[in-house]
């Protein structure tokens, strides 16, 4: 991931860099050479010198040496002071995100450096959404201290949340009126007949676009890939989804190979008949959470997050994530015996007599972070492979609300409270479905706690009026007791959402809870249970925060002045 490459841009260390640089270095060399001729021998014992050496020459040399020492000290001190001041300035700039490296938006969005600089929009919406709330559900950045990094004993019991005290009838009313053809121009809730994802004037599949039909002996995955459409990966009742999941979890594995690129280890798994899957290995038990001192970009990937996110994406009605299933592998026969090349050299037997390997990648691919079986059985997630680029090339987009991927620097959206105005006037966010897709993605990521949304991808053949793929959920479901409000920044700053997404959220809030749907859906997975219960409970809690955010947006548009006053007292 390119952002990570920028880590560690620390200022030069120590004064030596300046002391020996440029003209000082040349001067120093000249002086040293001169001194070497004249002074180097001066410390030699007196008796070694020719008795004829005139005393005045010795004293001149000593004076010169003294002068040079003083000069050298003065120079070192001034260089050190200059460097120290520079370091202070650089550090300050980084802390305030003023390093001048703006986050470009596909190289097209011009972000003006307005007076907003230094005033964090994030702090602003934290204030707005956390402290000002007096609704019965109380929107807040929920932070409950976890019992420990892992659960202390046994699996917590599934909990059904108490019926909601606030049913968000004001938001239900907006949906109701929109279905009757009213509130067509609502600024926050985009009605179905204005939403290209609902209208779908055209919705061709990859097969139709490429004029391809699956052959008689085509695999389920091949059929699935040809049925991927302009507006979704698969239809609501698509039977091929379960068929693909079953294939990936049961067919023999005939080849494994490390996937190039990315930061953490992944394998491309081959099954008979050309079927492929992307494998992410299990590293920890379900209840191990993100280490408190880990940034989002140094967190480990969790295989179960990929499985859970696929189910969640489907339940929310997005259908933008490829099917993912869990499976337990025999590392000897299903990886080691069917792979070749450098990865083989990374296999070893651990002191606990478990079979381990670490592969080669830029993060966590070393003996200290090896992936170990028990003793050689290894669980992992298998994501159905996307169509090859020969069949359907993808376009990679930089996410406008991408984080800085730097331990001190901030992204533009964190500094500019009107950042959305810049985005929404820039193609492809200025028309069609794209901006609404990003809002859905923010909802999806906030629910799962995924802060690692640096890029997103679309299928090129469908142009800009197509859905955004939900790829790479490996860093989701890391903190069950913390709700990361900054993930909602796109929604909080743009205040716009699809009617259909709001309808689904309200349906779960006022009806059967989302946690229950997800728990049920994931039961069919071979490595169920997929999620630690506190992560499921977090989903129901986070829905309330999203609904609160939408309510605040609506209130603000209904009464901008009032809201403004209320927001910032
Ligand atoms: N199901 C899939 N089929 C084919 N290719 C995929 C699939 N999922 C992801 N990819 C490709 O592999 C790349 C890396 O995958 P992924 O993002 O999950 O790994 P990662 O190690 O988390 O990467 P990063 O460190 O960049 O976040 C993706 O950008 C995507 O192009
Ligand atoms: Mn990733």
Query: 392 in ligand 1 pocket by Cβ < 6 Å?
Result: no
129/127 Cα distance (integer angstroms): 6
pLDDT at position 233 over 70: yes
Model confidence at 375: pLDDT above 60: yes
Residue 491, phi then psi, degrees to nearest 5: -70, -40
Contact 405, 4 (CB under 8 A): yes
323 Cβ below 6 A of ligand 1: no
Give the ligand whose atoms come closest to the C-alpha of residue 475: 2
Among 278, 382, 448, 456, residue to substitute to test ligand 1 (most atoms within 8 Å of Cβ): 278
Long-range contact list for 204-208, CB < 8 A, 24+ apart? 204/229, 204/230, 204/462, 205/229, 205/230, 206/387, 206/391, 206/392, 206/459, 206/461
CA distance 66 to 87: 31
For residue 203, the CA-to-ligand 2 centroid distance in Å is 30
pLDDT at 237 over 50: yes
* Angle at which helices 55-95 and 22-38 cross, to 10°: 160
Residue 569 confidence class, pLDDT cut points 50, 70, 90: very low
- Indicate the top mutation candidate among 4, 5, 241, 262 to test ligand 1's pocket, ranked by most ligand atoms within 8 A of CB: 262
Is the CB of 383 within 6 Å of ligand 1? yes
Ligand 1 mutation pick, 224, 257, 261, 388, max ligand atoms within 8 A of CB: 261
**Ligand 2 center from residue 256 Cα (angstroms):** 20
Q: Catalytic site residues?
A: 452
Pocket flag, ligand 1, residue 446 (CB < 6 Å): no
159 pLDDT tier (thresholds 50, 70, 90): confident
Average the pLDDT over 62-87 and give the result: 65
Q: ipTM score here?
A: 0.97
Three-state secondary structure call for residue 521:
helix
Using the atom order of ligand 1, give the atom closest to the CA of residue 261: 14
* 64 vs 407, residue with greater confidence: 407
Quickly list H helices, 253-385.
303-315, 331-334
- How far apart, in whole angstroms, are the C-alpha atoms of residue 317 and residue 451? 21
pLDDT of residue 123: 53
Provide the pLDDT for residue 84. Answer: 61
Report how far residue 18's alpha carbon sits from residue 500's, in angstroms, rounded to the nearest whole number.
61
Name the residue at shortest CA distance from atom 14 of ligand 1.
Answer: 262
The bound ligand whose nearest atom lies closest to the alpha carbon of 261 is: 1
> Predicted confidence band at 137 (pLDDT cuts at 50, 70, 90)?
very low
Beta-bridge mates of residue 255: 270
Contact 180, 550 (CB under 8 A): no
Count of CB atoms situated within 10 Å of the CB of 25: 12
Question: The pTM is what?
Answer: 0.77
| Nearest alpha carbon, ligand 1 atom 2 | 385
Helix (H) or strand (E) holding 541: helix 533-558
Q: Is the pLDDT of residue 48 over 60?
A: no
Query: Bridge partners of 270?
Result: 255, 276
Q: How far apart are CA 482 and CA 535, in angstroms?
A: 10
Going by pLDDT thresholds of 50, 70 and 90, the confidence category of residue 28 is very low
User: Residue 367 has what pLDDT?
Assistant: 94
In this prediction, residue 141 carries a pLDDT of 46
Cα 472 to ligand 1 centre (Å): 6
pLDDT exceeds 80 at position 56 = no
- Distance in Å, CA 486 to ligand 2 centroid: 18
CA of 325, nearest ligand number: 1
Q: Which atom of ligand 1 is nearest to 266's Cα?
A: 21
Cα(17) to centroid of ligand 2, in Å?
A: 37
């Amino acid at each position: 991931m390119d952002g990570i490459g920028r880590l560690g841009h620390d200022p030069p260390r120590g004064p030596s860099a300046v002391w020996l640089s440029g003209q000082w270095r040349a001067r120093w060399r000249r002086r040293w050479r001169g001194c070497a001729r004249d002074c180097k021998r001066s410390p030699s014992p007196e008796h070694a010198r020719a008795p004829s050496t005139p005393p005045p020459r010795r004293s001149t040399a000593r004076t010169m040496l003294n002068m040079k020492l003083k000069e050298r000290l003065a120079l070192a001190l001034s260089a050190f002071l200059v460097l120290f001041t520079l370091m202070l300035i650089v550090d300050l700039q980084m802390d305030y995100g003023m390093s001048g490296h703006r986050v470009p938006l596909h190289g097209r969005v011009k972000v003006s450096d307005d007076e907003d600089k230094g005033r964090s929009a994030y702090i602003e919406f934290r204030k707005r959404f956390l402290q000002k709330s007096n609704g019965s559900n109380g929107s807040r950045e929920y932070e409950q201290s976890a019992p420990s990094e892992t659960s202390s004993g046994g699996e917590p019991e599934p909990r059904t949340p108490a019926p909601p005290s606030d049913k968000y009838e004001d938001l239900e009313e907006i949906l109701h009126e929109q279905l009757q053809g009213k509130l067509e121009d609502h600024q926050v809730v985009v009605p179905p007949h204005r939403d290209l994802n609902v209208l779908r004037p055209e919705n061709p599949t990859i097969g139709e676009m490429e004029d391809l039909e699956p052959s008689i002996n085509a695999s389920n995955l091949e059929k699935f890939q040809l049925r991927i459409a302009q507006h979704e990966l698969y239809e609501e009742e698509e039977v091929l989804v379960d068929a693909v999941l079953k294939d990936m979890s049961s067919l023999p594995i005939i080849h494994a190979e490390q996937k190039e690129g990315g930061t953490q280890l992944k394998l491309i798994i081959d099954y008979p008949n050309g079927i492929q899957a992307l494998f992410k290995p299990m590293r920890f038990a379900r209840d191990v959470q993100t280490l408190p001192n880990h940034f989002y970009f140094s967190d480990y990937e969790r295989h179960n997050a990929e499985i859970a996110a696929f189910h969640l994406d489907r339940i929310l009605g997005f259908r933008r994530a490829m099917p993912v299933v869990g499976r337990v592998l025999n590392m000897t026969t299903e990886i080691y015996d069917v792979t070749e090349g450098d990865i083989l050299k990374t296999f070893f037997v651990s002191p606990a007599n478990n079979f381990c390997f670490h592969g080669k990648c830029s993060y966590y691919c070393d003996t200290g972070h090896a992936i170990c079986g028990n003793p050689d059985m290894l669980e992992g997630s298998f994501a159905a492979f996307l169509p090859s680029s020969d069949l359907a090339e993808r376009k990679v987009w930089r996410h406008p609300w991408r984080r800085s991927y730097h331990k001190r620097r901030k992204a533009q959206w964190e500094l500019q409270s009107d950042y959305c105005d810049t985005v929404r006037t820039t193609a492809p966010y200025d028309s069609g479905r794209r901006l609404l897709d990003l809002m859905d993605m923010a909802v999806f990521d906030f629910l799962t706690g995924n802060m690692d949304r640096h890029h997103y991808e679309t299928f090129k053949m469908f142009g800009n009026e197509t859905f955004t793929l939900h790829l790479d959920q490996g860093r989701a479901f890391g903190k069950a007791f913390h709700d990361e409000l900054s993930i909602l920044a796109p929604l909080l700053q743009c205040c716009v959402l699809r009617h259909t997404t709001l309808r689904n959220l309200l349906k779960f809030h006022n009806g059967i809870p989302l946690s229950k749907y997800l728990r049920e859906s994931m039961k069919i997975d071979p490595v169920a249970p997929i999620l630690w219960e506190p992560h499921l409970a977090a989903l129901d809690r986070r829905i309330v925060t999203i609904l609160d955010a939408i309510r605040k947006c609506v209130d603000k548009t209904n009464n901008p002045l009032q809201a403004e006053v209320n927001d910032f007292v």
